[in-house]
Amino acid sequence: MTGPRFEAVAAELRERIALGDFAASGALESEAELGRRYEVSRVTVRKALERLRDEGLIAARRGAGWYVRSGTSFGQTLALGSFRHARSAVTDAGLALTRTVTGYEYRPVPPDVATLLRTNGEALRVRAVRLAGGNPLDVVTEWVPLAFASPVSRADAEEPGVWETLRRQGHDIDVVRQSIAATAATESVAQGLDTTTGAPVLLVRRLAVRADGTPLALSEHRYLGHRFRLEVEFRGGPGTEPPGVTPV
């Protein structure tokens, strides 16, 4: 983590707030835990938290730590008929989609990932950059629990990809739960997308779940804001029951 370290930590926490990672209790990890997670000093963590406090995103409770302020983030559930992978959208445009793995390792899962994947300890983490027609499309981070990760080699993670490799191993995906947030590129994401730090980024988190309810894989895609969009078709017109909005 280079540059102003507290800014990078603040950017990571903004993303997690936008994605609703703290929705259950609203409580952030302790300052000591945040320092270990982001490998920074307690002073750096405090500066990052104070920046978010000044932005009105979080507040401190005496003796209880830091909490996301009520009404800071909202999640709206959209009922979709099917999941359409980005590959089809790119190839439909007549462009080649290529994927380069930039990181492949087994490492301890952070708390938010552990909650989503219902696993503790280590998991496979894959990082990659995808290009559409030779231009950066997104930076991808994927996590796979140890129970399913062994067939996924580094070569497989690059082609045909993590999710497709799991499917070919007989792991059918029953449900994909998707969260979408607008955020800004951190320094490492900006490098992968060949843009500037702070550029608009569309963050899409996808959790693949098997028919038995077991989480199979988690992916986070950070798209250049001006190069990708998500389109949703609604059934019914005015007067029909709208999707509910749940405050986080």
Length of the chain: 248
According to DSSP, residue 111 is labeled H
Residue 84 has pLDDT above 70, yes or no: no
Residue 234 has pLDDT above 50, yes or no: yes
The 10 Å Cβ neighbour count of residue 76 is 10
Tokens of 156: 């497989």
Q: List, for residues 147-171, the tens digit of each pLDDT value.
A: 999 999 999 999 999 999 999 999 9
The 10 Å Cβ neighbour count of residue 13 is 25
Calculate Rg over the CA atoms of the chain: 19
CATH architecture of the domain 76-224 equals 3-Layer(aba) Sandwich (3.40)
Q: Which residue, among 114, 216, 111, has the nearest Cα to 165 in the 3D structure?
A: 216
The 10 Å Cβ neighbour count of residue 97 is 18
Q: Which has more pLDDT, 149 or 226?
A: 149
**Residue type, position 31, single letter:** E
Q: To the nearest whole number, what is the mean pLDDT of the chain?
A: 85
How is the chain split into domains, by residue range?
A: 5-72, 76-224
Q: List, for residues 92-102, the tens digit of each pLDDT value.
A: 767 788 899 99
Interatomic CA distance for residues 164 and 162, integer angstroms: 6
Interatomic CA distance for residues 192 and 139, integer angstroms: 6
Q: Which has more pLDDT, 63 or 115?
A: 115
Q: Binning pLDDT at 50, 70 and 90, where does residue 243 land?
A: low
Give the dihedral of Cα atoms 123, 37, 71, 65; nearest 10 deg: 130
Q: Binning pLDDT at 50, 70 and 90, where does residue 88 land?
A: low
Q: Which has more pLDDT, 152 or 77?
A: 152
Which fold, 5-72? Arc Repressor Mutant, subunit A (1.10.10)
Q: Which residue, among 7, 9, 222, 5, has the nearest Cα to 102 in the 3D structure?
A: 222
CB-CB contact of 98 with 131 (8 Å): yes
Burial of 214 (0-12, 13-18, 19+ CB in 10 A): middle
Q: Which residue, among 13, 8, 6, 9, has the nearest Cα to 44 in the 3D structure?
A: 6
Burial of 180 (0-12, 13-18, 19+ CB in 10 A): middle
The 10 Å Cβ neighbour count of residue 174 is 12
Q: Which residue, among 37, 42, 50, 59, has the nearest Cα to 7 in the 3D structure?
A: 50
Residue 246 has pLDDT above 60, yes or no: no
Q: List, for residues 113-156, the tens digit of each pLDDT value.
A: 999 999 989 999 999 999 888 888 899 999 999 999 999 999 99
Instruction: Classify 29 in phi/psi space as left (phi over 0), alpha (psi -120 to 50) or beta.
Output: beta
Q: Binning pLDDT at 50, 70 and 90, where does residue 247 land?
A: very low
The pLDDT of residue 127 is 97
Q: Binning pLDDT at 50, 70 and 90, where does residue 240 land?
A: low
5-72 with 76-224: one CATH topology? Answer: no
